[in-house]
Amino acid sequence: MSTLEHGFEDVPEKYQTLGGRALTSNVIFDEVDPTCDPLGPDNKFVVAPGLLAGTDAPSSGRLSVGGKSPLTNGIKEANAGGPTAQKLGRLGIKGIIIEGKAEEDTWYNIVLSKDKCEIVEAGKYAGMGLYELITKVWEEYPNKPGIIGCGIAGQKLMKSAGVFGNNVENSDPGRYAGRGGLGAVLGSKRVSAIITDDTGTRNLRPADRELYTTGCSKLLDALDEHAVTGVLEKPDPETGKMKPYGALKNYGTNVLQNIINEAGALPTRNWHEGRFEGATKISGEAVHEFIDKVKEKFPDSTATYAHACHDGCVMKCSNIVPYEDTGEHQVGCLEYESVWALGTNCGIDDLFYVAELNRVCNDLGIDTIEAGNIISVAMDGKIEIDGKKLDFGDGALSVELLKKVTTNEPLAKAVGDGALAMGKYAGITHVAAVKGQSLPAYDPRPIKGIGVTYATGPQGGCHTQGYTIAPEILQIGGKPDPRDIKKAELSRGFQATTAYIDSTGYCLFIAFAILDIESGLNGMVESINGFLGTEIDVGKYGADIISKEREFNKRAGMTEKDDRLPEFFKTEPLPPHNVVFDVPDEELDSVHQD
């Protein structure tokens, strides 16, 4: 971006079997100085579709973006759906590496099409809300391109900024690679959007079609069969009538709201409680019922559940939530993490305000998990907004707080730079963050394994880098006691396997089926090996990624002291079970000792 030059390069031999997170993290490891300024010209922004993006493998269109994080000051990968990964795959583009820094006060879009790249001045898009931006991009580029980029928060170099992506209908910019402030890294390059047009292309061809096809079929059968990822409806064995079956299709990821609440591990009102009395009002079941109700009144409404986040998605955990009084699009989609962060953790049980806060985050380019923690910390400190004190449960004033990002007020930076920054502004030390990044929707005091992942994962406080909730709470792939403090081995295995899945293009949610159904696991492995034409060792592949990410962080200055949870988790018992996080430091240090 310093010279506005670009070029296509052959994929180096050492990157031939890498995709997604494996490619972003290897490029950052190989080419970025770990001590550099994350928002300076020496950091790089890397985009990589997963290995199977651009194929017809089920739910394989995930996209990774990576760089050095301004929030954690370490290596970062964030992952999302949307149309961009599939389009990049079909274009034969394994990755995009953006380096340097363009001149101030000039903004650019990068436009990719068959055998072509353009860097186009795009000042007209600067400062524009993202709902308007994606609409105008499709007007300018009528072949329905994929769009990713940074919003106003990223353009202002705010550390809570995510990387947005449009959905397949282009009705919402809510397909977010949200975590780690990577939107600010893209903003520092002066790139507002990357536009991908795959006109004139076709799906990629596997090296071993028979093995690939067999593997895809096994995986698809397992996904359809499993109660979490399965089909929308199945006949009742007693009555023969159709009834809801697949949890994700019917209730989305927010099916977890009631489950984690029942477990007493749902962080409530800035992590002070483990149960929320209003959880059922904003749960996945409530959203399902609400959408059905609005569709009865407005049959032409685009509201839906069982919505695909990208072409070829078969799990369809997404949704589009409408305004109740018009049936028009409010936000797409309401994920569990977002509903928890913007609802439960803020004491807000009004579905309208939860959805509206999510819409504001989508429009401004803010990570919803970080935003919810920011608001809850501000509520804990009862900060003033335009003369009014913000308290738990106040949805309307929370909307006004997020909108401060667009101003030049001192409060804007506290909102934009993450929960720790808001803690300093509000005089609050009760902030749930690891390596600078806010924690997601599972309290580690009653669920020890996820706490081990939060603490020791190289990505900062993040659940998806080692989702031990699957066995600990859902009893998928095992039934470990969530209170057991010996969780190093469990977390280590999940971290390595997750790093592999994040590299394949497969959605991480295939884990539910492949943990329980052996043929599904075999199918995943066979589809990858068949596509590449070579055999991949899943454990080694994932462990190698983790090893490089941790080495980068070490060179950036991180030590074992960064592999710890905030002190209050050890000292403040969490109601209703009144437990603390009592996993010893020796157990945390053993996760990656070898």
Say what the pLDDT of residue 105 is.
Answer: 85
DSSP three-state, residue 126: coil
Per-residue pLDDT at 148: 98
Which tens digits make up the pLDDT trace of 201-224? 999 999 999 999 999 999 999 999
Mean pLDDT (the chain) is 97
Say whether pLDDT at 383 is over 80.
yes
Q: Are residues 465 and 419 in the same domain?
A: no
Rounded CA-CA distance 188/184 in Å is 6
Q: Would you say 183 and 76 are in contact if contact means Cβ atoms under 8 Å apart?
A: no
Helix (H) or strand (E) holding 257: helix 256-262
Q: Do 395 and 360 fall into the same domain?
A: yes
- Give residue-wise pLDDT tens across range 9-58: 999 999 999 999 999 999 999 999 999 999 999 999 999 999 999 999 99
Q: Which whole number is the average pLDDT over 357-383?
A: 98
Asked whether residue 453 carries a pLDDT value surpassing 80, the answer given is yes
Q: Is the pLDDT of residue 91 over 90?
A: yes
Residue 104 domain flag = yes
Q: Does residue 455 have a pLDDT over 80?
A: yes
- If asked whether residues 26 and 120 sit together in one domain, one would say yes
Q: Indicate whether 383 belongs to any domain.
A: yes
251 and 115 both lie in a single domain: no
Cβ distance 492 to 531 under 8 Å?
no
How high is the pLDDT of residue 254?
Answer: 98
Is residue 104 over pLDDT 90?
no
Q: How much is the pLDDT for 87?
A: 98
Q: What percent of the chain has pLDDT over 90?
A: 99
Same domain, 415 and 464: no
| pLDDT for residue 59 | 98
Count of beta carbons in the 10 Å neighbourhood of residue 429: 13
- Residue 594 is predicted with a pLDDT of 74
The answer on 399 and 262 residing in a single domain is: yes
- Contact criterion met (CB below 8 Å) for 233 and 245: yes
Name the amino acid, one letter, at 236. D
Q: What is the largest CA-CA distance in the chain?
A: 69
Give Cβ neighbours of residue 537 (< 8 Å, ≥ 6 apart): none
Helix (H, G, I), strand (E, B) or coil at 92: coil
- At which of 391, 416, 434 does a domain end? 434
Q: Are residues 413 and 458 in the same domain?
A: no
pLDDT for res 110: 98
Instruction: Provide the number of structural domains found in the chain.
Output: 3
Residues 299 and 412 in one domain: yes
Q: String of b and e for 178-197 (b: at least 16 CB within 10 Å)? A: bbbbbbbbbbbbbbbbbbbb
Residue 68 reports pLDDT greater than 80: yes
* Torsion region of 4: left, alpha or beta (phi above 0 gives left; psi -120 to 50 gives alpha): left
Is the torsion defined by CA of 413, 415, 420, 426 positive or negative?
A: positive
User: For residue 3, is pLDDT > 80?
Assistant: yes
Rounded to an integer, the average pLDDT of 519-548 is 98
The whole-number average pLDDT for the span 413-419 is 96
Q: 354 with 392, same domain? A: yes
Average pLDDT over residues 310-319: 96
| CATH code assigned at 580 | 1.10.599.10
Q: Is the peptide bond before 41 cis (omega within 30 degrees of 0)?
A: no
Residues 6+ apart with CB under 8 A from 83: 61, 144, 145, 146, 165, 166, 167, 168, 196, 310, 311
Can you tell me the distance from the alpha carbon of 115 to that of 74, in angstroms, rounded to the nearest whole number? 34
Per-residue model confidence (pLDDT) at position 103: 85
Instruction: For residues 22 and 92, state if they share a domain.
Output: yes
**224-280 per-position pLDDT tens digit:** 999 999 999 999 988 999 999 999 999 999 999 999 999 999 999 999 999 999 999
Instruction: Report the 3 state secondary structure along 411-437.
Output: HHHHHHCCHHHHHHHHCCCCCCEECCE
- Domain limit, last residue, from 434, 459, 481: 434
pLDDT digits (tens, 9 = 90+) for 178-206: 999 999 999 999 999 999 999 999 999 99
456 pLDDT higher than 90: yes
Would you say residue 560 has pLDDT above 80?
Answer: yes
User: Do strands 191-196 and 146-149 pair parallel, antiparallel, or not at all (unpaired)?
Assistant: antiparallel
With H, G, I as helix, E, B as strand and everything else as coil, classify residue 319.
Answer: strand
Same domain, 498 and 412: no
Kind of pairing, strands 191-196 and 108-113?
Answer: parallel
Q: What range does the domain containing 453 cover?
A: 444-516+533-547+557-589
